Amino acid sequence: MTTIYPVILCGGSGTRLWPLSRKSYPKQFVPLVGSSSLLQNCADRMRGSKDAPYAKPLILTNESFRFIVTEQLTAIGVDPGPILIEPEGRNTAPAVLAAALYLSKVDPDALMLVAPSDHVVPDKSAFHAAVSQGVTAIERDRHLVTFGITPDRPETGYGYLKLSAAPDATGAAVALDHFVEKPDLDRAKAMISDGSYLWNSGIFLFAVRDIIAAFQDHAPNLLPPVQTAVEDAKADLGFLRLDALAWEKVEDISIDYAVMERAKNLSVVPYAAGWSDVGSWSAVQELSSPDENGVATTGEVTTIDCNNVLIRSESASQEVVAMGLENMIAVAMPDAVLVASMDKAQDVKQAVAALKAKGAPQAEALPVDHRPWGWFESLVVGERFQVKRIHVNPGAALSLQSHHHRSEHWIVVEGTAKVTIDDEVRLVSENQSVYIPLGAVHRMENPGKVPMVLIEVQTGAYLGEDDIIRYEDVYARN
Can you give the pLDDT at residue 52? 66
H or E, element range at 231: helix 223-231
Please, which pLDDT band fits residue 333 given cuts at 50, 70 and 90?
Answer: very high
Give the containing element (helix H, strand E) for 254.
Answer: none
Helices assigned H by DSSP within 295-447: 348-357
**Length reported for the chain:** 478
What's the confidence (pLDDT) of residue 238? 85
Which pLDDT does position 15 carry in this prediction?
A: 85
Model pLDDT, residue 274: 93
Rounded distance between C-alpha atoms, residue 247 and residue 93, angstroms: 13
For 23-45, what is each residue's pLDDT tens digit? 999 999 999 988 999 999 999 99
Give the number of other Cβ atoms within 10 Å of residue 340's Cβ: 18
Q: What is the pLDDT of residue 478?
A: 65
pLDDT one-digit tens code per residue, 176-187: 999 999 999 999
Phi and psi based region of residue 226 (left: phi greater than 0; alpha: psi -120 to 50; beta: remaining): alpha
Residue 220 has pLDDT above 90, yes or no: yes
Q: Which of 363-367, 403-407, 415-419, 455-459 has the lowest mean pLDDT?
A: 363-367
Which has the closest alpha carbon to 239: 87, 54, 396? 87
Distance, in Å, from the CA atom of 100 to the CA atom of 106, rounded to the nearest integer, reads: 10
pLDDT of amino acid 1 = 59
**So what's the pLDDT on residue 462?**
95
Torsions phi, psi for 334 (to 5 deg): -60, -25
pLDDT averaged over every residue in the chain: 94
Quick: pLDDT tens for 136-162: 999 998 899 999 999 999 988 899 999
CB 427 within 8 A of CB 454: no
Q: What type of residue sits at position 346?
A: Q
Q: Stretch 119-136: mean pLDDT, rounded? A: 94
Let me know: does 236 contact 257? Beta carbons within 8 Å.
no
Amino acid residing at 468: I
The residue among 48 and 275 whose pLDDT is bigger is 275
| The pLDDT of residue 252 | 96
Q: Are 282 and 166 in contact (CB under 8 A)?
A: no
Percent of the chain whose predicted confidence (pLDDT) is above 90: 88
Angle at 323 between CA 317 and CA 324, to 5 degrees: 155
Confidence (pLDDT) at 12: 80
Region 456-466: mean pLDDT is: 94
Say how far apart CA 32 and CA 29 lie, in whole Å. 9
Q: Which domains, ranges and CATH numbers included, belong to the chain?
A: 4-271 (3.90.550.10), 290-357 (no CATH), 368-472 (2.60.120.10)
Q: Are 45 and 127 in contact (CB under 8 A)?
A: yes
Do 313 and 322 touch, CB atoms closer than 8 A?
no
CA dihedral 441, 437, 431, 316 (to 10 degrees): -80
Mean pLDDT of the 251-269 span: 95
Q: What is the pLDDT of residues 63-101, one digit of tens each?
A: 989 999 999 999 999 988 899 999 999 999 999 999 999
pLDDT tens-place string over residues 379-406: 999 999 999 999 999 999 999 999 999 9
Tell me the average pLDDT across 335-355.
94
Dist. CA 92–CA 436, nearest whole Å: 46
For 23, half-sphere exposure in the C-beta direction (CA atoms, 13 angstrom radius) is: 11
CA 131 → CA 15, 65, 128, 462, distances in Å?
A: 30, 28, 5, 55
Half-sphere exposure in the Cβ direction for 317 (13 Å, CA): 2
The whole-angstrom separation of Cα 32 and Cα 41 is 11
Cβ-based burial of 111 (10 A; exposed 0-12, middle 13-18, buried ≥19): buried
Is the pLDDT score of 48 beyond 80? no
Summarize pLDDT for 401-417 with one digit per residue, the tens.
999 999 999 999 999 99
pLDDT for 13 equals 76
pLDDT at 3: 85
Query: Which residue, 26, 278, 6, is CA-closest to 127?
Result: 6
User: What does the pLDDT read at residue 49?
Assistant: 66
Which amino acid, residue 28? Q
Whether the pLDDT of residue 53 is over 80: the answer is: no
